[in-house]
Structure 1
Amino acid sequence: MGTLTSILVLSFLIFFHELGHFLAARFFGVHVEVFSIGFGKKIFTKIVGNTEYCLSLIPLGGYVQMKGQDDRDPTKVSYDADSYNTKAPWKRIIILFAGPFSNFLLAFLLFMAVGAMGVSKYAPIIGKISENSPALEAGLQENDRIVMINGIVIEAWDEVSAIIQKSMDKIELKVERAGSVQTLLLTPKISEYQNMFGETKQKKMIGVAPSGKTIEVVYGANELFGFAYDQTAKATTLILTSLQKLVEGVVSPKELGGIISIVQVTSEASAAGLVALFALIALISVNLGVINLLPIPALDGGHIMFNTYELITKKAPNERILINMTTAGWVLLLSLMAFSIFNDIYRLTNGN
């Protein structure tokens, strides 16, 4: 059941991405010859109008085949009025950007659904208190519930750190203890911590950790837009930062995961419930959007790069350079795909 869910999720994400390209292409009068979910041999086809819609054997992607545009052979062009390559570069850029944009839009909508259903967060209840910390010196105790910081009402633990980072000097905490509210003053101090990439960083801390108790936060209609936007932005930043750390060597290439990892985590999320599944699908959708915007030939970002060059210089890229860069892009993408699948298999066979 988990594998089936994973396949359906991937197919849905690919469909949404390609639908963006399709709608933008049709808006600008470009004829779409093929709309395919998956690659390789076509196992189901149906012609509607002048477009062939199909499901292909390998569910690792999809494509929209537009008239006058062929990634497999960049020299295949058409000069008809409904051809992709006869359109102005700025129109082509919009068509190319529409796919990744659809992924970001889908993530945004899914995060709105997650916010409406309820998000599990740590309650603002103090657990462990560090020795020689501002919290200990100020008299904070385990199981104190933080109800207000600097006049701002606290609903969940993640709000605590955000407010502390913005504080300039002393902060005023109101905590609920044994049925009464007490007010405490303390000054955060700069302390070292390790981030999710294992790097040592510094930030303001007061020396407390959450108790582990959770609450469910349901966002109202007037809050959903902001919540969904913040989550989409955070997911995008996380993926970009992860890519940066991978290039810098902070994150090992062994951490790369492929289709097998996606199937595993999607299966686990589906078992955990609809909220977890929607959140994961949103994260994968953002990931697809970001990856496809990378300036790698054969990806949307690579095509956007070529069209931006043409838009600025008023001339098309050199055909030989275009072919060589596109070939190199495919080699890179296929190598990364093979490497990520190898990592997945290695982790499975070694029980890691």
Structure 2
Amino acid sequence: MSILVSILVLSGLIFFHELGHYAAAKFMGVTVEVFSIGFGKRLFTFRKWDTEWSISAVPLGGYVRMKGQDDSDPTKKSLDADSYNVKTPMQKIFILLAGPAANFVLAFFLYFGIALGGPNILSPVIGEVVKDSPAFKAGLQTDDIIKSIDGVKIIAWKEMAKIISDSDGSLNIEIQRGGYIEFKTLTPSIRETTNMFNEVIQKKMIGIASAGVFHKLELSPSDTLSYATEQTIFASTMIFTGLKKLIVGEVPAKELGGVISIVKLTSDATAQGWMSVLFFAALISVNLGVLNLLPIPALDGGHIMFNLYEFIFRREASESVIIKLTIAGWVILFSLMGLGLFNDINRLMG
């Protein structure tokens, strides 16, 4: 079941990505010859609106082939009025950006749907209290509910952790214990922990762990739009930052995941319900948008790079350079896919 859900999620995200390219190309008057979800042998195909629509056997990607554009042979060109080749660099960049943009827009609507359904958030309920920590010395206990810090109402564990991390000096904490309200004063201490990228960092903490209690977040119509916007921006920033750390070596290459990781995460999300699947789909959609913007010739970002060169220098890059860089791009892309798969297998084998 999880494999089927994974295929449906990936195929849906790829469909919207390619639909972005398709819509932009048609808007620019370019004929789209093929719109395919998947690669390899075609399992199902039909022709409509001058385009051959296909579902292929290997559901690990997709593509639109525009008239005059062929990544397998960049020298193949068409100078017809409806060809991709005759468009200006800015028109081509518009078509190329439309795919990643569609992924970001889709992620926004997925987060919007989550907001309408009321996302589950981690409640500020204390589970474990670390011995001799500031919380322990102040008398905080398991099952205490943190209601406010320095007069700021606390709704979620995440916002509580941020206030503590950003604090300067002592904190006045309001807690609910049983049916009573109590007030505690403590000063956070700097401790060693790990962040979302598994890096060891120094952070202000008070020595408590979550009890793992969740509650539904009720949002007004305006809050719903804000939530969707903030989550889309957060996911984009997180992925851009993660890629930067991976490239400069701050995050080890073993953290890279592949198809097996996606299937496993989808399986975990499916077990938690449709809301978790939407969360995961939104995150992967942003991931697709970001990855396709990388300046690798086999991706949209690589084609954008070539068109920016043409726009700036008023001439196309030489065919030999384009061919060599495109081949290098495919080598990089398949190497990354292979590394992700290798890491996935290592994780499965412990």
| Residue of structure 1 in register with 2:41 after alignment | 41
Contact 2:147 2:176 survives alignment (8 Å): yes
Deviations 1:288-321 (A, max 9, x none): 1111111101100111111112222222112211
* C-alpha displacement of 1:337: 2.3
More displaced 10-residue stretch of structure 1: 17-26 or 34-43: 34-43
Between the aligned partners of 2:50 and 2:198, the Cα distance in structure 1 is 53
Opposite residue 30 of structure 2, the aligned amino acid is V
The change in CA–CA distance for 1:38 and 1:160 in structure 2 (over 3 A counts) is same
Q: 1:239 maps to what in 2?
A: 239
2:277 aligned residue: 277
Distance in structure 2 (CA, Å) of the matches to 1:132 and 1:259: 44
What is the TM-score normalised by the length of structure 1? 0.92
Distance 1:107 1:121 in 2: 19
Q: 1:265 to 1:205 in 2, by over 3 A?
A: closer
CA separation of 1:5 and 1:78: change in aligned 2, threshold 3 A: same
Q: CA deviation at 1:128?
A: 2.4
Tell me the distance in 1 between the aligned counterparts of 2:151 and 2:295.
Answer: 46
For 1:197 and 1:239, locate their aligned partners in 2 and report how far apart those are by CA, in whole Å. 10
Distance 1:188 1:341, change over 3 A: closer
Identical counterparts, % of pairs:
53
**Other-structure match for 1:52:** 52
**Distance 1:342-1:191 versus aligned 2 partners, 3 A rule:** closer
Map 1:68-147 → 2, pairs under 5 A: 68-147=68-147
Kept in 2, the 8 Å contact 1:67–1:83? The answer is yes
C-alpha RMSD of the superposition: 2.1
Q: How does 1:1-352 map to 2 (within 5 A)?
A: 1-348=1-348, 350=349, 352=350
Q: Shift in Å at residue 250 of structure 1?
A: 4.6
Counterpart Cα distance in 2 of 1:240 and 1:11: 23
Change (3 A) 1:295 1:128: same
Cα displacement string for residues 272-297 of structure 1 (whole angstroms, at most 9, x for unaligned residues):
21011111111111111111111101
| Native 8 Å contact 1:269 1:280 kept in 2 | yes
Letter in 2 for 1:64: V
Q: How far did residue 345 of structure 1 move?
A: 4.2
Give, in whole Å, the separation in 1 of the partners of 2:254 and 2:57.
28
Q: CA separation in 1, counterparts of 2:178 and 2:44?
A: 66
Match of 1:40, SS?
strand
| Normalised TM-score (structure 2) | 0.92
Give the letter aligned to residue 222 of structure 1: S
**Residues of 1 paired with 2:10 and 2:222: CA distance?**
31
Distance between the aligned counterparts of 1:85 and 1:27, measured in 2?
15
Does the aligned pair in 2 maintain the 1:147–1:155 contact within 8 Å?
Answer: yes
Give yes or no for contact 1:197–1:250 (8 Å, CA) kept in 2.
no
Tell me, yes or no, if the aligned pair for 2:199 and 2:251 is still in contact at 8 Å. no
- Contact 2:166 2:204 survives alignment (8 Å): no
> What is the rounded CA distance, in whole Å, between the counterparts of 2:326 and 2:309 in structure 1?
15
- Structure 2: state its 5+ residue gaps: none
Distance apart, 1:195 and its partner CA: 2.3
The separation in 1 between residues aligned to 2:304 and 2:288, in whole angstroms, is: 16
State whether residues 173 and 185 of structure 2, in contact with CA within 8 Å, keep that contact through their aligned partners in structure 1: yes
Offset at 1:339?
3.5
- State the shift of 1:169 in Å: 3.1
Which deviates further from its counterpart, 124-133 or 302-311?
124-133
User: How far, CA to CA, are the matches of 2:43 and 2:247 in structure 1?
Assistant: 38
Pair 179,346 (structure 1): closer, same or farther in 2 beyond 3 Å: closer
